[in-house]
Structure 1
Amino acid sequence: MSLSGKISTELPVQATAEKWFHTVRNQLHHIQHVSGDVHGAGLDQGDDWRANDSVKHWTYTVDGRVETCHERIESVDEQKKRIAFKIFGEAIDAKYKVYKLIFEAIEKDDGSGAIKWSVEYEKVISHPSPHYLIPYLSYLFLQIFTMSLAGKLSTELPVHATAEKWFHTYTNQLHHIQHVTHKIHGAKLHQGDDWHANDSVKHWTYIVDGKTVTCHEAIESVDEQKKRIVFKLYGEDVDNKYKVLKLIFEAIEKGDGSAAIKWSVEYEKVSEDVHPPYGYLEFCDHCIKDVDAYLIKAEENANK
């Protein structure tokens, strides 16, 4: 029995082949925020997700098991809308000498589109089967272009400051955040005289996706026990893309005494042409790092 082979599957899709190719080519790192089955993805080598010499590390659940691997782009054919990914390391190398995932976005003659995933492999021994990954990939990537206009994205990062200190900052010192991170260019009270009252409205100017954005914000709810705050964003630039846009802050105390900050983005787009607000996740990641550094420095200065 041959240890090498190729399997593939093709599925019709409603989004265009061009949009699919653009997403997999340029926004692959966003998959971790779309699917609950992808637990993490990061650059292990290089600084550009799209570069062929960059290596990414993935953690995901497939067939009920958590697995990890490395991945890099082997080739890109813009004309054929085809990308070949080389998968290696960790659990993969224990079963396969060669493991490649090949993505193709296909334009049909009748104007419809289809997505084809193929696996080219060479097994170490005869019994492993690579078939399990095909339906998983098909399901995973179909989540990107769901017909629903509403959705939720989230990001979580470990922090050095305590969850209590983080929650205190956002419930009592929200106006200071503009002085801590370069992503925020300005913030002021637009209505009311208390930054932390639910009926107060603030005006923010900040950077998302490299562009200056302005909006109004109001606190929708605060849960002291869960250290959770829901912020409603609306008006000006936000209303051009979203009927609903909420940022949900959570300061999480881990069992080992450490802490993490989770930001979630709940949204409803005004149309299918609007992309999910991935840029807000990147904005939140930057803010987490900047605020954490500020809190640690403030604690060090207080202890001098």
Structure 2
Amino acid sequence: MAAKIEVEVEVNSPADQFWEAIRDSTNLFPKIFSQQYKSVEIVEGDGKSAGSIRLISYAEGMQGIPFVKFAKEKIEAVDHEKKLVTYSVIDGEILNYYKSFGPTLAVASKAGGGAVVTWSVEYEKLNEDVPEADIIKELAVQTLKELDAYLLKNKKGA
């Protein structure tokens, strides 16, 4: 049976800036989050458009989910107006635990500045012994907060 986890994270970066950073995650994430991402390579497409496939290599002993060494993800949909992107994991260790795993990320402007980032994942466990995806949600929240801090720090230094 499919399940869904969703979390909202308020960030201080403007929505447009945060969205552009998410769009450039192929380049930014290994640079900013070297303790988590060893590399992000574009396998097909441009790495930003629907149909693109990226190969993500995770750092050894990655905090939270050390059992995942790599994931191949396909960008299923991108909506620039709504600042929304949906992925699906098509290969990697995570599929040893989940039949399907599809994160979605949306960035919305917040009144008074900043943005609200909604991260969710729809997944189906291979069996009842597989834990819920809470640990991955925690990692996503941490990544979003650290990306915000990086953008704010580098904006002030510009």
Residue equivalent to 2:117:
261
Q: Does residue 162 in structure 1 map to residue 14 in structure 2?
A: yes
Residue equivalent to 1:200:
52
Q: Does residue 270 in structure 1 map to residue 122 in structure 2?
A: no
Q: Does residue 185 in structure 1 map to residue 38 in structure 2?
A: yes
- Between the aligned partners of 1:168 and 1:295, the Cα distance in structure 2 is 11
Deviation (angstroms), 1:192 = 2.2
Structure 1 residue identity aligned to 2:36 = K
- Between the aligned partners of 2:4 and 2:21, the Cα distance in structure 1 is 25
The 3 A distance-change label for structure 1 pair 231 and 260 is: same
Q: Does residue 209 in structure 1 map to residue 64 in structure 2?
A: yes
- Between the aligned partners of 2:46 and 2:67, the Cα distance in structure 1 is 26
Deviation (angstroms), 1:193 = 5.0
Moved over 6 A (4+): none
Deviation (angstroms), 1:151 = 0.6
Structure 2 regions of 5+ residues with no counterpart? Answer: none
Deviation (angstroms), 1:267 = 0.4
C-alpha contact 1:183 1:283 (8 A) present in aligned 2: no
- Between the aligned partners of 1:252 and 1:193, the Cα distance in structure 2 is 26
C-alpha contact 1:208 1:280 (8 A) present in aligned 2: no
Structure 2 residue identity aligned to 1:244 = S
Deviation (angstroms), 1:161 = 0.6
Q: Secondary structure at the match of 1:235?
A: strand
Deviation (angstroms), 1:255 = 2.7
Q: Does residue 298 in structure 1 map to residue 150 in structure 2?
A: no
Trace 1:49-128 onto structure 2 (pairs within 5 A).
none
Q: Deviations over 1:203-240 (max 9, x none)?
A: 11233634141110111101122211101112120211
Deviation (angstroms), 1:258 = 3.1
Structure 1 regions of 5+ residues with no counterpart? Answer: 1-148
- Between the aligned partners of 2:78 and 2:28, the Cα distance in structure 1 is 19
Q: Deviations over 1:45-90 (max 9, x none)?
A: xxxxxxxxxxxxxxxxxxxxxxxxxxxxxxxxxxxxxxxxxxxxxx
Q: Give the structure-2-normalised TM-score.
A: 0.87
Q: Does residue 233 in structure 1 map to residue 89 in structure 2?
A: yes
Residue equivalent to 1:108:
none
Residue equivalent to 2:102:
246
Structure 2 residue identity aligned to 1:296 = L
Aligned residues: 153
Q: Secondary structure at the match of 1:211?
A: coil
Q: Deviations over 1:149-170 (max 9, x none)?
A: 3111012221111111111112
Residue equivalent to 1:153:
5
Q: Secondary structure at the match of 1:194?
A: coil
Trace 1:33-44 onto structure 2 (pairs within 5 A).
none
The 3 A distance-change label for structure 1 pair 223 and 266 is: same
Q: Give the structure-1-normalised TM-score.
A: 0.47
Q: Secondary structure at the match of 1:198?
A: coil
Q: Secondary structure at the match of 1:153?
A: strand
Q: Deviations over 1:110-138 (max 9, x none)?
A: xxxxxxxxxxxxxxxxxxxxxxxxxxxxx
C-alpha contact 1:153 1:266 (8 A) present in aligned 2: yes
Q: Report the structure number with the largest CA radius of gyration.
A: 1
Bigger relative contact order, structure 1 or 2 (CA pairs below 8 A, ≥6 apart): 2
Residue equivalent to 1:286:
142
C-alpha contact 1:232 1:246 (8 A) present in aligned 2: yes
Q: Secondary structure at the match of 1:248?
A: strand
Deviation (angstroms), 1:174 = 3.2
